[in-house]
Amino acid sequence: METIVRIADVGLWVVLAVLVVYTVRHYFFTLNRLFGRHRQPFIDVVEANWPSLVVFVPAHNEARVIRDSLDALLTCDYPADRLVIVPIDDRSQDETREILREYAALYPDRIRPHLRDGGIPGKAAALAEAMADHEEEVFLVFDADYIPGERLLKQLVAPFFDAEVGAVMGRVVPLNVGTSLLTRLLDLERSGGYQVDQQARMNLRLVPQYGGTVGGVRRTALEHVGGWNIDSLAEDTDLTVRLVLAGWDVVYQNRSECYEEVPETWESRIRQIKRWAKGHNQALRSYLFSMFFNRRRLPWIQVLDGVLLLGVFAVPMVLAFGWMCTIVLFYAGYPPQWSKVTILLVSSFNTVGNFASFFQIAAASRLDGTRERIRMLPFMFLGFLVSTFAVGRATLSRASWLRGRPLDWEKTERHREGRASSPGLS
């Protein structure tokens, strides 16, 4: 019994330390965004000898949304003779393939679909296969529901003029904000996550995350770190860590905004969170040791941020363990240690999971210049509870920690009304 009590006591201190670090991190990032120097060295590169570029758009049953994405890409101001758009149809069962063929016929020089009927499932495998057909040094990846602005391609390519940059990530802005309570909450969460969290990491030269949905990768860097990890459920996080460990920079561009469709149902949201959590936990298992003992002697602050980034989805379990330790100590006859309990409460309030904390969201809303949407903040607590449940279940699943290929893939459901034809045909 004494051993259990000792383990619980030590465990509680460890848990408190972890939670305090996350809490400080949230505050530090927020204060940096409110009062620190905004670092965006590449956003003003407006003229250059732009390199040949391939834009990959992986798609699996995306008939509802892919037309909008392709139309937006076609109107981007990137030199037409240096741009190839490659939508990758990964065994769709809806009309995605027909739509891609239609666009390829309309724009044969600019749209060259890559059609997959077999092979390993998943985005990373699809990208690896499609990349083999192209030789360009820089490529961008957009999700099929993403709608870029006119200048986005140039903005995302500009950081690659820096020889150290291996990957670039733009900012995601929800398009279907007003659809439901969930979409409004996700709008706030995205705001906090990108406007504060990602940009603060960029400002402080930490580890901005390549998110895989609106970003780009340098081929040399990707090949240097061994290509896409097709066994990962979060190939973007996996790649981010490998690039940083190999000495490449990951850049976040806050002004490179792109619209996305966020999940509109809680079921869809839970599936999305679970996939992210499993992918992050896989990466945590794979790279925790490498982060601490990296060959490139990364600055300790970058190592710490990388580890905290990887561990973000393990926090709810850490928190649960903390509460378990508290209960064990209580029933073992130890008086409640109110100072510890208070820290646990405050930290849990601030750091649960991947979602931006309240004050981060408030700061992001201020930075975005919006006024009314911040009123929805109290409802974030509901979102937190749902996410905690989803992350908890994902963290306890085998897929979070197993080695080898993922057992299943969860595709995010689309809700947008599909268009019947492309503008060129109508």
Partner 1 sequence: MTPELVFLQLLAVLLFWMLLPLLPALLELARPKDAAPLQSVGSDSGKLTYFATSFTERAHRDGLLGATVPPRMSDGTPVIGVSRVVPFLDLHRPTEAVVVLLDGVPLPDGLEFSAEVLARLSMPPSRSNTFRAILGQRDVSLGENSVVLRWVHALGLLQVADGCRLFGRATSSRSIILGTGVLFERLQAPVIRVTETEAYQPPARPTGSYVRFQPRDGEEITEGMWHVNGDLRIPAESLFTDSIVVRGDVVIGDGARVTGSIKSHGKILAKSRTLVAGSLTARENITIEAGARVNGPIISETSVLLEAAVIGSSTSPSTVTAPQIEMLPGATVYGAVMAGKRGITSLS
Binding site for partner 1 (CB under 8 A): 39, 41-49, 147-152, 154-155, 158, 161-164, 171, 173-178, 181, 184, 187, 191, 220, 223-224, 246-247, 255-259, 368, 370-373, 375-379
- Nearest C-alpha neighbor of 26 from the set 277, 358, 318: 358
Distance CA 233, CA 218 (A): 21
Minimum Å distance from CB 247 to partner 1? 6
Minimum Å distance from CB 9 to partner 1? 35
Minimum Å distance from CB 151 to partner 1? 5
Closer to partner 1 at the Cβ: 6 or 375?
Answer: 375
* Helix H or strand E segment including 246: none
Helices (H), 197-234: 199-203, 219-224
Minimum Å distance from CB 130 to partner 1? 22
Closer to partner 1 at the Cβ: 37 or 398?
Answer: 37
Q: Are 227 and 128 in contact (CB under 8 A)?
A: yes
Distance CA 169, CA 223 (A): 19
Minimum Å distance from CB 56 to partner 1? 20
Closer to partner 1 at the Cβ: 9 or 368?
Answer: 368
Minimum Å distance from CB 378 to partner 1? 5
Minimum Å distance from CB 300 to partner 1? 16
Tokens encoding 337: 């240690």
In this structure, the strands spanning 138-142 and 114-116 are unpaired
Q: Are 315 and 351 in contact (CB under 8 A)?
A: yes
Closer to partner 1 at the Cβ: 183 or 282?
Answer: 183
Closer to partner 1 at the Cβ: 47 or 109?
Answer: 47
DSSP strands (E only) in 113-231: 114-116, 138-142, 147-148, 165-174, 214-218
**Is the backbone of residue 247 left (phi > 0), alpha (psi -120 to 50) or beta?**
left
- Nearest C-alpha neighbor of 383 from the set 269, 268, 278: 269
Order of strands across the sheet with 214-218? 114-116, 83-90, 53-59, 138-142, 214-218, 165-174, 249-260, 147-148
Closer to partner 1 at the Cβ: 89 or 187?
Answer: 187
Closer to partner 1 at the Cβ: 202 or 317?
Answer: 202
Tokens encoding 356: 């931006």
Would you give the DSSP letter of residue 78? Answer: S
Closer to partner 1 at the Cβ: 376 or 402?
Answer: 376
CA distances from 24 to 21, 305, 309, 318, 364 (A): 5, 12, 14, 17, 17
Closer to partner 1 at the Cβ: 202 or 329?
Answer: 202
- Nearest C-alpha neighbor of 172 from the set 55, 263, 257: 257
Minimum Å distance from CB 166 to partner 1? 10
Helix axes 266-292, 235-245, angle to 10 degrees: 20
Q: Are 159 and 87 in contact (CB under 8 A)?
A: no
Closer to partner 1 at the Cβ: 246 or 399?
Answer: 246
Minimum Å distance from CB 383 to partner 1? 12
Minimum Å distance from CB 253 to partner 1? 10
Distance CA 368, CA 374 (A): 11
Minimum Å distance from CB 310 to partner 1? 23
Closer to partner 1 at the Cβ: 47 or 135?
Answer: 47
In this structure, the strands spanning 214-218 and 138-142 are antiparallel
